[in-house]
A and B are shown apart, each in its own frame.
Chain A
Amino acid sequence: MVFFKSKQNSKDVAKQRLKNIIANEKNNMTTEKLDIIKSEILHSVEDYFTVDRQSSEVYIAEENKEAAIVIILPIAKDNV
């Protein structure tokens, strides 16, 4: 029944899921693993800065078949 609630076609959901899976697979990475990396990095960085956890991001970016891990850790305002 769940699928009647959503406006997005199931084929679009399928395509998006496939894109994510294939991108992550190349790097043997999953969202959960990225979350673990993120919390480990936060743990180290927070010894020196107060990080705005809400806006921090870790993801894999791909361009021209090259991948990079992108880490964005905004420093909390009260720290600057």
Chain B
Amino acid sequence: MGEVYVITSGKGGVGKTTTTANLGSALAMMEKRVVVIDADIGLRNLDVVMGLENKIVYNIVDIVEKRCRINQALIKDKRFEELYLLPAAQTNTKMDVKPDDMVLLCNELKEEFDYILIDCPAGIERGFENAIAGAEKSIVVTVPEVSAVRDADRIIGLLRDAGLNEIHLIINRVRLDLVKKGEMLSVDDMLDILAINLLGIIPDNKDIVITTNRGEPIVTNEKSITGQAYKNIAKRIMGEDIPFLELDIRKNFIQRLFSTS
């Protein structure tokens, strides 16, 4: 039986889609069967980040409206045998999918895949409700900026209200140079405010700009520290105890990640 994670943030532009694509790729690299779902109906982007934009024939709305079977809409990744994308529709709106549709869809996908990662749209309206409906676990992505952390806090509250109590945090675009100078919120600061499990820290790095331009995952780049950070997160999701990158300056930080499972 697979596990369903929703990747969310409240605020747009913090790296949900990039995180979904790279975690999906990293899990598939470790021979897990993975499907990543783009829940941003009307503004799809996960296809582009994964370089699969030319392969779309059917989408999630076609499944919901029974124009195709689930397997017909799944797009096989270019690099990883075990990775599939379920694209969003571009011409429909979020109202064309109901939370109940997502529950049914996730239940079916769980039979076939080890991990189902849902890329949630920004905002807290219908798109968010759809994205979290079928999920059991959640990953909140934030960046070290006041607005993003405030939105993360709000989203954490909404996830708890919805009964999604397993919430993990990924802090994206951390710049150690600025943190050291005291000019950027530190991992510690953000954990103090948000008080949820830390799942990973992603350093701010130019590599991600280049790979995203090309529609490639960064996890295939062995030398990239960002790629390494995503691979570490994937391992933690799989239950391994992986220390945080050097960049984590919190001292004596020992936290059981999967204390609930």
Contacts and interface: CB of A to CB of B under 8 A. Distances in A.
Interface of A: 1-3, 10-11, 13-14, 17, 20-21, 24-25, 28, 30-33, 36
B213 A2 contact: no
Contact of A1 (B212, B215, B221): B221
A2 B220 contact: yes
Given A1-B223, A25-B90, A13 B214 contact: yes
19 contacts: A1-B221, A3-B210, A3-B211, A3-B216, A10-B210, A13-B213, A14-B214, A17-B51, A20-B53, A20-B54, A21-B48, A21-B53, A24-B54, A28-B91, A30-B55, A30-B57, A32-B55, A32-B56, A33-B56
Contacts, number: 51
Nearest to A36: B57
Size range of the chain B interface in the assembly: 20 to 34
A78 B144 CA distance: 68
Interface in B48-65: 48, 51, 53-57
Interface string B31-61: 0000000000000000010010111110000
Contacts of A13: 213-214
Interface of B: 48, 51, 53-57, 90-91, 209-216, 220-223
A30 B53 contact: yes
Contacts of A20: 53-54
A30 B56 contact: yes
B69 to A, nearest CB: 16
A17 B56 contact: no
In the complex, the 4 A-B pairs of residues with the closest C-beta atoms, listed nearest first: A31-B54, A14-B213, A10-B213, A10-B210
Nearest to A3: B210
A3 B51 CA distance: 14
A24 B53 CA distance: 10
Contact of B215 (A11, A17, A25): A17
B222 A1 contact: yes
A3 B214 CA distance: 8
